[in-house]
Every structure is written in C-alpha cells, then in structure tokens.
Amino acid sequence: MTRIEFTILDQNFSVLVSNAQLMQVFCEQQALPIEVHSQGVVKSRITQGELQFDVTQLAQQQLGISVDGQQWQWLELPTTPTERKKNFIGLAALGFKLVKSANVIKAALAGASIAGYAWLFSWQFALMLVACLVVHEYGHVRAMQYFKIKTKGIYLIPFVGGLAVSDDKITTRWQDVVISLMGPAFGLITSVFGVVLYYATELEIFAAVAVLSALLNLFNLLPILPLDGGHVLKSISFSMRSWVGLLVCMAGVGFGLWLSYTFGLMLLVFFLFVGSLEILFEWRARHASHLLPLDRYGQVFSAVMYILVVAGHIAVMMHFADSENVILSLPMKVLSS
C-alpha cells in the first residue's frame, strides 16, 4: 500500500493507493468518505468544495487531482525499485508454497483440536465444541466475503478456539462491527436450531449444543479485546474520540482482569495481554488511522445490534436454567453468580 501526501487549499491531504485502486483519503489526518463521481473518477467532499481524483492512470503510477472540476493536476506515485522486487522473489515463492499447504495445516489443527477436547472430556463433547467453533468462525468469514475482503479460511487452535483469517485489511469501523458480530450471530442461529431439534426429538444432546454454543458466544461477546465484543466496543468508542476509545478499552481490560481473578481464567490473561497491545497500537496510530469512523447513527445501531445478540444468547441459557440436567443449567448458574 502506497501513501501519497500533498497540500491543496492550505490543507494537508494524503491518500492510500493499493493494487491500482484508491483505498482511502485523509484531510488533516481525518478519514474522508469516497464516492463515485463518474467513470474513472471518485470524489470526497471537503469544507471548501469537492476534491476529485482521476484513477484511470493509477496503473501507470499517476493520480489526477482536481478541486470543483478545475484543471487536473497529476501526481507521480513512488515506484518500487526493481532491486527490492528481486529481493522478494524468494519470499514470494515461499509464501506460495505455504498457501498451497494451508489446507493441510487446517486439517491438522482441526484433528488436534478434536483429539485434545476428546482427551479432556469425550469425543461427543469434542465434536459439539468444534462444530460450534466452526459455525462461529464461518459467520466471520461470510461477513468478510460480503465486504469483498479476501479470506484464507478458518483455523482451529487446540485449547484456544478458532480464527477466521483474512488477506485484506478492513477500511471502516462499520466493517469491524459487522464482522465481529456475525460470528456470535451465527452462533445464536446454532443455539436456536439446537433448541428446536431438542423439542422435536427430545434428545438432550441438541439442548447441550444450544447451551454450549450460547455460552461460548456469550464469552466471546465480553467487552474485552481481542474478543468480538471488544472489537465492537473499540469501533464505537474510537469513533467518538480517541481518548474516549482509550479509556473505554482500558476499562474493558480492568474488567477482564477482575473476571480472570474471580473465575481463575488464566487463558483470559493471555487474551488481555494481546488486547492491551492492540489498544496500544490503536492509540499510537490514531492520527494516521485509515479506518472511516462510525457516525452517530452507526454508533447507536452497532450498540443495539450488540445488545440484541447478547440478549439472544442469555435467553437460550435462561431457557434451560431450571433443567434437572446439571450440565444444561450450569451456564446460567455461572452467569448469575
């Protein structure tokens, strides 16, 4: 990705260009929305008028700039030296081999996850747990595909969970919210489907799937980075003000530490360490962030969606709170303690 800086109308602008496409425009380090003006021309609105970009010559390393349709000015994009390209040929070949072997890695991790959970509990529980994880991560993948973000697929990590890996970076806070919430939303669908099958067959295995899925996804919705709930919280709070985002996310870390101490969740401490690093990087790059923030409507709508998904999972757990089966009633007892 190439960053170009220029000054027009006594204001400092910068643009991000990648793969012959204009990805983002900044004015005084604030991201501006990009709209299509005409064939090969995009625009961004500024206080002094309208800034237009001719992207037809990006492949030839040139970008046209005009204010309110005036005469075009052309900027030369910096080119990558041939020597540097040659130096990366070996790394590119190695990366290609790793991509080809990705399916082998996925299969190995999935097998290790099933074997590990079966060793700790039972093979029935292992299959249920892995199925819930796969559905959850598939929700993230589908959301990425909706936003035309290339994905590498789902990786199951033994004794940790799962991970949906993407090839591209997100460009807006809204994308971060939707991608983060689609995992728990798909998990909610799994829980509801499990409840339906339980009443249709009277087999407690389906009720166990519903409760397990609700518990896993509710944990993932905790407002703690790098969990999904933490990403939603970060996108909303950093869209308000950077210092608000920092304070809110650090409060989430404090809540996570209390939770880890109260329930002895040592794995959560590792997550909190990773999340703290993410908060630090987000704060340090706040002035150069390429993410388009949420407007007020987007902030409220994101919060409402988050609350609805959380409420759905709690409702599934409450449905089995009075069950005579200890396993089915345990999650609600933990939640209410």
Same domain, 190 and 335: yes
Of the residues 169, 199, 223, the one at which a domain ends: 169
pLDDT band at 182; cut points 50, 70, 90:
very high
Residue 172 has pLDDT above 80, yes or no: yes
Tell whether 83 is covered by a domain. Answer: no
Any idea which residue has 């970060």 for tokens?
Answer: 234
Give the rounded percent of residues in the chain with a pLDDT score beyond 90. 5
Tell whether 151 is covered by a domain. Answer: yes
Of the residues 169, 193, 221, the one at which a domain ends: 169
Arithmetic mean of pLDDT over the chain: 79
How far is 273 from 171, CA to CA, in rounded Å? 25
How far is 170 from 240, CA to CA, in rounded Å? 19
Same domain, 217 and 323: yes
Torsion of CA 189, 192, 193, 196, to 10 degrees: -160
The two three-digit tokens of residue 177, written as one number: 């919210």
Same domain, 143 and 180: no
Return the pLDDT at 83: 39
| Residue-range definition of the domain harbouring residue 14 | 2-76
Tell whether 245 is covered by a domain. Answer: yes
Same domain, 158 and 271: no
Tell whether 62 is covered by a domain. Answer: yes
The two three-digit tokens of residue 129, written as one number: 């747990």
pLDDT band at 58; cut points 50, 70, 90:
confident
Same domain, 301 and 182: yes
Residue 32 has pLDDT above 70, yes or no: yes
Report the amino acid identity of residue 314.
I
Which residues are 32's β-sheet partners? Answer: 25
> What's the rounded mean pLDDT across residues 182-198?
90
Return the pLDDT at 286: 66
Same domain, 288 and 236: yes
pLDDT, tens only, 259-313 = 777 767 676 677 777 777 777 777 776 666 677 787 888 888 888 998 899 899 8
pLDDT band at 86; cut points 50, 70, 90:
very low
Contact yes or no for 180/139 (Cβ under 8 A): no
Any idea which residue has 């985002």 for tokens?
Answer: 245
Contact yes or no for 299/245 (Cβ under 8 A): no
pLDDT band at 84; cut points 50, 70, 90:
very low
Return the pLDDT at 82: 43
How far is 121 from 248, CA to CA, in rounded Å? 37
Q: How far is CA 59 from CA 106, 148, 150, in A?
A: 36, 21, 21
Tell whether 196 is covered by a domain. Answer: yes
Contact yes or no for 13/27 (Cβ under 8 A): yes
Which residues are 46's β-sheet partners? Answer: 49
Same domain, 184 and 158: no
Residue 200 has pLDDT above 70, yes or no: yes
pLDDT, tens only, 206-254 = 888 888 888 888 888 888 877 888 888 888 887 777 677 677 767 877 8
> What's the rounded mean pLDDT across residues 66-75?
83
How far is 258 from 255, CA to CA, in rounded Å? 5
> What's the rounded mean pLDDT across residues 319-333?
72
The two three-digit tokens of residue 189, written as one number: 């669908």
Tell whether 91 is covered by a domain. Answer: no
Return the pLDDT at 91: 58
Within 10 angstroms of residue 254's Cβ, the number of other Cβ atoms is: 11
Tell whether 88 is covered by a domain. Answer: no
Tell whether 240 is covered by a domain. Answer: yes
Same domain, 206 and 334: yes
Listed as own residue / partner, the contacts of 63-68 with beta carbons closer than 8 Å and 24 or more positions apart are 63/4, 63/15, 63/17, 63/22, 65/6, 65/8, 67/8, 67/9
Q: Helix/strand/coil (H, E, C) string of 289-321?
A: CCCECCCHHHHHHHHHHHHHHHHHHHHHHHHCC
The two three-digit tokens of residue 101, written as one number: 């072997």
Same domain, 193 and 259: yes
Same domain, 128 and 203: no
Return the pLDDT at 178: 92
Of the residues 150, 169, 188, the one at which a domain ends: 169
Beta strands per DSSP E along the chain: 2-8, 11-18, 21-27, 30-32, 35-38, 41-46, 49-54, 62-67, 73-76, 151-157, 161-166
pLDDT band at 11; cut points 50, 70, 90:
confident
Q: Mark residue 148 as left, alpha or beta (left: phi above 0; alpha: psi -120 to 50; beta: remaining).
A: left
pLDDT, tens only, 146-169 = 888 888 888 887 777 777 888 888
Same domain, 199 and 163: no
pLDDT, tens only, 121-143 = 778 778 888 888 889 899 999 99
Same domain, 175 and 163: no
DSSP single-letter state for residue 291: P
| Total count of domains within the chain | 3
